[in-house]
Amino acid sequence: AQRVTQPEKLLSVFKGAPVELKCNYSYSGSPELFWYVQYSRQRLQLLLRHISRESIKGFTADLNKGETSFHLKKPFAQEEDSAMYYCAPRLPSGNTPLVFGKGTRLSVIA
């Protein structure tokens, strides 16, 4: 069963426009949620985790338990944000590997 959904395969926005990459999950309980990013010719790396409530490179993500969502947002997109973004929940038990979504490719147009 699909546990994490990233509905957009590709998202194109203009530089300076707001961007929102959607992620919905279908776990019961309280999973931990992460966003990973893969820039061109670079390794996949952790962008942010919901438990830290942090802002990394201007990105934030709020866990909405009611909507079971963890959308990634940035108010003003930059060209260097162009990358592949993966939402990754971890089952509520905690002692299991991450499960990655299918990913959304963000393209920021100058």
Which residues of the shown chain bind another protein in the complex (CB under 8 A)? 6, 9, 32, 34, 36, 43-46, 49, 86, 88, 90, 94-103
Measured from the CB atom, is 15 or 99 closer to another protein?
99
- In one-letter notation, the amino acid at residue 63 is L
Q: Which is nearer to another protein, 53 or 102 (CB)?
A: 102
What's the min distance (Å) between Cβ of 52 and another protein?
9
Q: How far is the CB of 103 from another protein (least distance, A)?
A: 5
Cα separations (Å) of 84 from 10, 91, 92?
Answer: 9, 23, 25
Q: In angstroms, what is the minimal distance from the CB of 15 to another protein?
A: 26
Instruction: Indicate the residue type of 68.
Output: T
Q: What is the DSSP string of 6-39?
A: ---SEEEEETTS-EEE--EE--SS--EEEEEEE-
